[in-house]
A and B are shown apart, each in its own frame.
Chain A
């Protein structure tokens, strides 16, 4: 980090917070604070939806994922546009017509208070912990790569978010999202330009991309029907569809974004624009990661991208063996670089036989280098059994700080902070709304004035912000619990979506029957998790389908009176 980078970063952070406080204004009623006065136009709604979903990890880990695993992760998002269409047809007009503040409010009108409270409580639990992780994950990467104290990074990200989210509520969140999105796009574009500019003089971008393709990094579509394969066209279209339907239709951190739309038209257009832009945006981010891979075929990457773990092994009894592995890796990289160059030249020619030979030679050299790298990683995990053998999270930021010119590093770090603040602010805003609307105003003080609701919402934002920061500060000591929190989220989304689909479409099914079906669905999902090897995306399909199929059966057995939806 040069002084110029510090100036760029500090200026941006100060400006973003001041802008959020200014544009958020001082709303004095619940609708103004929690739904931005329901006054947002569709471009703002769309950008806010996209910024909420794209956390800092999206910009740090996704390029690394393409570096290590290729571009097949793009299939994860293929169900999203279809989910946007379904929600535009169903949820958006219903939520607007019922004038709800939260998605869970709708469930009480359709079913009963216990269903509303259960889903709201599930959301608060999941999202409260997730908000901590949204702050913790980029803080960890920044601290490792830049040598910063993780406690300070967490406090800066969390503290700045709490300031403008508490001050201006949803309007501040949405307005800041628009501003932050611009710096994120500028940061990614700047890194891409720097990458292309640093390729060797005799290697064009197309040459480099072709080499990445021969290494299998550009496989964007996989039509395999293997249920154990995490990312395929089918798991993305079907499993991803159910996951996105649940996330955008029932998770208050997203519902609140489009409920801030001035009308059904503005909310729908926001969702549909997200459906148009999300897939190509993820493709571009992954493509940048694949280009970083291509770049390192003609340059020397470190044997392991996490410098903290490398420092540990260098200071251990394994240091000599590790130095030997590094030396062998350097030799293997030199060989691979030569073969990559030959391959790039061969791919320019029309000689098919020469291409095949060069491809085979390149793949052989790549496999040899990877074998040496695995040896080195083995020494790292032998030194520190708790070390993560995957270094994909550190690939992109390592490239940025070591290869990108001064000033642009500060810009890219500003983008990382911006992305982190985007998703965290939306989460805190939604947590406060659910706490106040589904808890305080529902059970504690139904007669609360508008000013009281706004005041309690501000305090709820501060408390949830403090909780998220505290959880982030302790996350490094929780280890497996962090992983458990992530798994917990994927275990519940399908069931919650099933509850909402029954509420939307099966109007003769009562709350009690839906409850029973939800319990059966959860048992089925947990059985899938414990007893089968299927990919987690399919849990969403299983949970949702079981609720939708079992709830009418239970209703038939109970023969309960109908209670059609209000509004």
Chain B
């Protein structure tokens, strides 16, 4: 197991580990939801 302990205190503006900015990450989560809804809709139609 890796050590969970943070190496240093951080500020609210600290960048996310990937994606560059928090705004991009929020957009990614929202788009991901839209993709899943579209997938579910296609899934529903395909097996109806």
Contacts and interface: CB of A to CB of B under 8 A. Distances in A.
Contacts of A540: none
A212 interface: yes
A136 interface: no
A42 B4 CA distance: 9
Contacts of B46: 213
Contacts of A328: none
A249 to B, nearest CB: 16
Contacts of A41: 2, 4, 6
A199 to B, nearest CB: 17
Interface string B17-35: 1000010011001101100
A31 to B, nearest CB: 13
Contacts of B48: 213-214, 218-219
A88 interface: yes
Contacts of A78: 33, 37
Given A37-B5, A266-B6, A279-B36, A89 B26 contact: yes
Nearest to A84: B29
A221 B16 contact: no
A88 B26 contact: yes
Contacts of A269: 16-17
A272 interface: yes
Contacts of A283: 36, 40
A97 to B, nearest CB: 7
A254 interface: no
Nearest to A178: B1
A265 B44 contact: no
Contacts of B30: 81-82, 85
A353 B2 CA distance: 59
A89 B32 CA distance: 18
A218 B43 contact: yes
Interface string A85-107: 10011000100110000000000
Interface residues of B, number: 29
| Interface size bracket, A side | 35 or more
A20 to B, nearest CB: 13
A262 B5 contact: yes
Nearest to A275: B29
A268 B29 CA distance: 12
B47 A85 contact: no
Residue with the greatest number of chain A CB neighbours at <10 A, chosen from B15, B16, B43: B43
Contact of A264 (B5, B12, B33, B41): B12
B24 to A, nearest CB: 11
Contacts of B9: 263
Interface in A95-123: 96-97
A311 interface: no
Contact of A262 (B10, B32, B47): B10
B47 A212 contact: yes
Contact of B40 (A85, A220, A265, A266): A220
B12 A96 contact: yes
A275 B5 CA distance: 24
A280 interface: yes
A40 interface: yes
A276 B16 contact: no
Contacts of B29: 81, 84-85, 272, 275-276
A74 B47 contact: no
B22 A268 contact: yes
Interface string A259-291: 000111110110010011001100100000000
Given A220-B40, A221-B40, A210 B47 contact: yes
A39 B11 contact: no
A280 B40 CA distance: 10
A41 B7 CA distance: 11
Interface string A450-471: 0000000000000000000000
A58 interface: no
Interface string A333-352: 00000000000000000000
A209 interface: yes
A213 B47 contact: yes
Contact of A97 (B2, B5, B12, B14): B12
A221 B46 CA distance: 12
Given A81-B33, A263-B9, 8 more contacts: A93-B12, A213-B46, A233-B37, A262-B5, A263-B14, A264-B14, A272-B26, A272-B29
Interface of A: 23, 37, 39-42, 44, 74, 78, 81-82, 84-85, 88-89, 93, 96-97, 209-210, 212-214, 218-221, 233, 262-266, 268-269, 272, 275-276, 279-280, 283
17 contacts: A37-B5, A41-B2, A81-B33, A82-B30, A210-B47, A219-B48, A220-B40, A220-B41, A221-B41, A262-B5, A264-B14, A268-B22, A269-B17, A275-B33, A276-B32, A280-B36, A283-B36
Q: Which 5 A-B pairs have the closest CB atoms?
A: A213-B47, A262-B6, A263-B10, A220-B40, A218-B47
